[in-house]
């Protein structure tokens, strides 16, 4: 709350200003004398009222854009000062996940920064613009008045406002709705009003708690992610862009995509799911990368299936290019590298200037066949951590049993442990086997028995496949001898 004497001097000051201007109007006091009076009055006022004031308007500029300092102040006051305010208001802003509760209009609140007290006033004024508009417009202009003692001016201007910006931005990020972006095919950018990304709300429920994998491996990944998230200063000090690459590899159904969602939920980042096949040139790739924001994960799934990025594809492409080159008419020139999407184009963006803008980005590639990838693409520094998502181990099974059946121990667990030791089955298959179904009366034992049957069937199938292969080999051997 404002100090009573502070309010009183403010009110008295306003009355005196009004008196002087009224006197000047009715008694025709010449302008120079009136100016002198005002200057004198201001000097006296600054002695009895030693406060400075900064106004932060909601809208600014020719196009009346919402001012970032206003929105960050709003979020800051909401996260820090609302407990001290009497009157609050709640609104669900666009793209927010939770209602924003902040101080109401015409309400006052105090804040203390490094032992210095400041006063915030939320005000609104009615704009007296005479513009005639077809659309009804709200002409109320909201603003904050930040009041402080004049001797703290440097602290407020230099450090406090910066503090507001940073804290406010963090609060906005926390309150925002997280998004899953997918890139539009470049031919459709025109249709999507020039936008390269479309988005939906990101709501995947998987977390590291529900992700089935070796607990030690999980702990290492969590540690790495936590270090990355808190590494702003560290990355700055060592002169490295604040980004990290993860290569997730393993057979289908081992949880690579689930792991990406778990990482996004853990870090509270947005996800950009980059479909390389929808991009035709390096120039398009550049535009796509530039339009990503910080605190995000950029994902390229099944990178081995993406265009021109593996050794084999490069060789095939070379053959195709040679054929096409022969078809070119004399005088026709080959297109330069920017008019195609190339491996070097992708590497340039991973290493290049893009990674320096904004920071706090994670890049994830997934593949079922890491051996097919070009060494250059997955070397350390680009893909800092290679994570193998493996077939279901007994430890991973225990997580799934807890998720799906809410059991941590059961007499059938020991047979399942033995079976998992000899059969390769994916967590996706185990999860399916454990699914509670009406036909199983939602019974834990029935679900576990069903899983055992499925693993045994898989073991039989694998054994007969191996036998068939062995038979084929022997046949091939004997026909070669003949
Ligand atoms: N490690 C795991 N932990 C928990 N659930 C899993 C795990 N792996 C697979 N699942 C279950 O199987 C489904 C498919 O898994 P997911 O899509 O993550 O596999 P993937 O490795 O990405 O497969 P693909 O290589 O085919 O893309 C998930 O929706 C989830 O229900
Ligand atoms: Mg996947």
Please enumerate, as own/partner, the contacts of 111-117 that have beta carbons within 8 Å and a separation of 24 or more.
111/77, 111/80, 111/81, 113/155, 113/156, 113/159, 113/160, 113/163, 114/155, 114/159, 116/148, 116/149, 116/152, 116/155, 116/156, 116/160, 117/148, 117/149
Residue 15 lies in a domain: no
- CA of residue 173 to ligand 1 center, whole Å: 29
**Percentage of residues of the chain with pLDDT beyond 90:** 38
Residue nearest to atom 17 of ligand 1 (CA): 257
CA of 312 to the centre of ligand 2 (A): 22
- The CB of 393 under 6 Å from ligand 1? The reply is no
In which residue are the tokens 């970032």 written?
68
Of 257, 433, 434, 451, the one to substitute when testing ligand 1's pocket (max ligand atoms within 8 A of C-beta) is 257
Q: Among all chains, which residue has been given the structure tokens 């077809």?
A: 134
User: Is the dihedral angle over the CA atoms 338, 343, 349, 352 positive or is it negative?
Assistant: negative
Bigger pLDDT: 297 vs 49: 297
Q: Give residue 158's domain range.
A: 50-130+137-175
Number of structural domains found in the chain = 3
Residues 288 and 352 in one domain: yes
pLDDT (0 to 100) of residue 91:
77
Residue nearest to atom 29 of ligand 1 (CA): 258
Cα(248) to centroid(ligand 1), Å? 12
- pLDDT at position 210: 94
Q: What's the pLDDT tens digit per position in 129-181?
A: 555 555 445 567 889 999 999 899 999 999 999 999 999 988 888 888 889 99
- With respect to residue 85, please indicate whether it lies within any of the assigned structural domains: yes
Q: Do 119 and 223 lie in a common domain?
A: no
23 part of a folded domain: no
Whose CA is closest to atom 14 on ligand 1?
253
- Residue of higher predicted confidence among 323 and 81: 81
Looking from the CA of residue 260, the nearest atom of ligand 1 is 18
Tell me: do 170 and 310 sit in the same domain. Answer: no
Degrees to nearest 5, angle at CA 310 with 308 and 316: 60
Q: For tokens 């790495």, what's the residue?
A: 224
Residue 215 sits in the same domain as residue 347: yes
Top-ranked range on mean pLDDT: pick from 81-85, 249-253, 302-306, 438-442:
249-253
- Does residue 333 surpass a pLDDT of 50? no
- In the Cβ-directed half-sphere of 206, how many Cα atoms lie within 13 Å? 14
- On whether both 384 and 400 belong to a single domain, the answer is no
For the Cβ of 256 lying below 6 angstroms from any atom of ligand 1, the answer is: yes
Query: 385 pairs with which residues across the strands?
Result: 246
Of 371, 388, 405, at which residue does a domain stop?
Answer: 388
Q: Which atom of ligand 1 is nearest to the CA of 261?
A: 18
Reduce the DSSP state of residue 424 to 3 states and report it.
coil
Q: Are residues 225 and 360 in the same domain?
A: yes
Choosing from 147, 175, 203, the residue where a domain stops is 175
Query: Taking the CB of residue 392, how many other CB atoms lie within 10 A of it?
Result: 27
Query: Would you say residue 62 has pLDDT above 50?
Result: yes
Q: What mean pLDDT do residues 321-341 have?
A: 53
Residue 272 covered by a domain: yes
**247 C-alpha to center of ligand 2: Å?**
13
Give the C-alpha distances (Å, rounded to integers) separating 73 from 171, 238, 325, 364, 457: 10, 32, 60, 35, 62
Q: Same domain for 349 and 436?
A: no
What's the whole-number average pLDDT of the chain?
82
Q: Tell me the CA–centroid distance for residue 211 and ligand 1, in Å.
A: 9
C-alpha 307 – ligand 1 centre gap (Å): 24
Last residue of a domain, one of 149, 175, 201: 175
CB 43 within 8 A of CB 3: no
Strand order in the sheet with 140-149: 51-57, 140-149, 116-126, 108-113
Q: How far apart are CA 462 and CA 422, in angstroms?
A: 11
- Determine if ligand 1 sits within 6 Å of the CB of residue 390: no
**Residue 45, in any domain of the structure:** no
Residue 180's DSSP bridge partners are 200, 271
What number does the ligand 1 atom closest to the CA of 400 have?
A: 4
Do the domain assignments include residue 329?
no
**pLDDT at site 329:** 44
pLDDT, tens only, 371-383: 888 888 888 778 8
Residues 164 and 190 in one domain: no
Which tokens is 297 given? 């994960």
Q: Is residue 64 part of a domain?
A: yes
Q: Which mutation among 218, 256, 257, 258 tests ligand 1's pocket best, with the greatest number of atoms within 8 A of CB?
A: 258
Kindly report the pTM of this predicted structure. Answer: 0.74
Indicate whether residue 102 lines ligand 1 (CB < 6 A): no
Q: How many residues does this entry show for the chain?
A: 482
Distance 400 CA to ligand 1 centre (A): 12
328 located within any domain? no
The CATH number of whichever domain residue 341 belongs to comes to 3.40.50.300
Is residue 210 domain-shared with residue 152, that is, in the same domain?
A: no
- Does residue 166 share a domain with residue 124? yes
What is the percent of the chain where pLDDT is above 70? Answer: 82
Per-residue pLDDT band at 356 (split at 50, 70, 90): low
For residue 473, give both structure tokens: 């080999």
Q: 424 C-alpha to center of ligand 1: Å?
A: 15
C-alpha distances in Å from residue 246, one per residue of 8, 225, 231, 260, 377: 62, 10, 16, 10, 11
Q: Is 392 in the pocket of ligand 1 (CB under 6 A)?
A: no
Residue nearest atom 12 in ligand 1 by C-alpha distance? 428
Rounded Cα gap, residues 80 and 168, in angstroms? 9
Rounded Cα distance between 226 and 256, Å, is 19
Is the confidence at residue 298, as pLDDT, over 80? Answer: yes
* Ligand 1 within 6 A of CB of 213: yes
Q: pLDDT tens-digit profile of 205-239?
A: 999 999 999 999 999 999 999 999 999 889 889 88
Residue nearest to atom 8 of ligand 1 (CA): 255
Task: Output the CA 310–ligand 2 centroid distance in Å.
Answer: 19
Which residue minimizes the CA distance to atom 10 of ligand 1?
428
User: How many other CB atoms are found less than 10 A from the CB of residue 73?
Assistant: 24
Q: What are the tokens at 234?
A: 């560290």
Q: Does one domain contain both 75 and 194?
A: no
User: Above 60 in pLDDT, residue 117?
Assistant: yes
Same-domain status, 363 and 234 = yes
């Amino acid at each position: 709350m404002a100090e009573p004497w502070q309010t009183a001097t403010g009110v008295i000051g306003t009355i005196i200003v009004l008196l002087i201007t009224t006197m000047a109007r009715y008694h025709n006091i010449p302008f120079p004398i009136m100016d002198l009076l005002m200057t004198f009055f201001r000097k006296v006022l600054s002695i009895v009222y030693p406060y400075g004031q900064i106004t932060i308007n909601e809208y600014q500029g020719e196009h009346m854009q919402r001012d970032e300092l206003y929105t960050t102040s709003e979020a800051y006051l909401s996260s820090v000062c609302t407990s001290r305010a009497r009157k609050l208001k709640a609104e669900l802003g666009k793209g927010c996940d939770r209602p924003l509760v902040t101080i109401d209009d015409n309400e006052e609140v105090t804040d203390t920064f490094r032992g210095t007290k400041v006063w915030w006033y939320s005000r609104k004024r009615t704009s007296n613009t005479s513009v005639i508009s077809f659309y009804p417009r709200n002409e109320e202009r909201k603003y904050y008045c930040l009041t402080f003692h004049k001797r703290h001016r440097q602290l407020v201007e230099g450090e406090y406002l910066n503090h507001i910006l940073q804290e406010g931005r963090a609060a906005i990020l926390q309150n925002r709705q997280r998004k899953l972006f997918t890139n539009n095919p470049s031919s459709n950018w025109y249709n999507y009003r020039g936008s390269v990304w479309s988005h939906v709300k990101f709501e995947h429920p998987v977390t590291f708690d529900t992700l089935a994998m070796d607990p030690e491996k999980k702990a290492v990944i969590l540690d790495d992610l936590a270090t990355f998230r808190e590494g702003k200063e560290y990355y700055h000090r060592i002169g490295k862009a604040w980004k990290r690459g993860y290569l997730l590899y393993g057979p289908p159904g081992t949880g690579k995509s689930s792991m990406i969602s778990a990482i996004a939920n853990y870090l509270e980042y947005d996800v950009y799911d980059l479909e390389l096949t929808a991009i035709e040139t390096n120039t398009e790739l550049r535009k796509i990368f530039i339009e990503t924001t910080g605190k995000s994960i950029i994902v390229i799934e099944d990178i081995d299936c993406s265009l021109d990025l593996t050794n084999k594809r490069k060789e095939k492409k070379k053959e195709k290019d040679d054929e096409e080159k022969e078809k070119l008419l004399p005088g026709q020139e080959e297109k330069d590298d920017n008019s195609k999407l190339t491996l070097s184009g992708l590497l340039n963006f991973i290493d290049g200037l893009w990674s320096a803008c904004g920071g706090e980005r994670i890049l994830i590639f997934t593949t079922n066949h890491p051996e097919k990838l070009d060494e250059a693409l997955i070397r350390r520094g680009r893909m800092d951590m290679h994570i193998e998502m493996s077939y279901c181990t007994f430890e991973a099974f225990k997580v799934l049993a807890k998720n799906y059946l809410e059991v941590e121990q059961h007499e059938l667990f020991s047979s399942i442990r033995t079976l998992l030791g000899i059969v390769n089955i994916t967590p996706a298959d185990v999860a399916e086997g454990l699914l509670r179904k009406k036909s199983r009366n939602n019974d834990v034992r029935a679900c576990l028995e069903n899983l055992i049957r499925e693993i045994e069937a898989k073991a039989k199938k694998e054994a007969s496949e191996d036998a068939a292969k062995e038979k084929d080999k022997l046949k091939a051997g004997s026909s070669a001898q003949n």
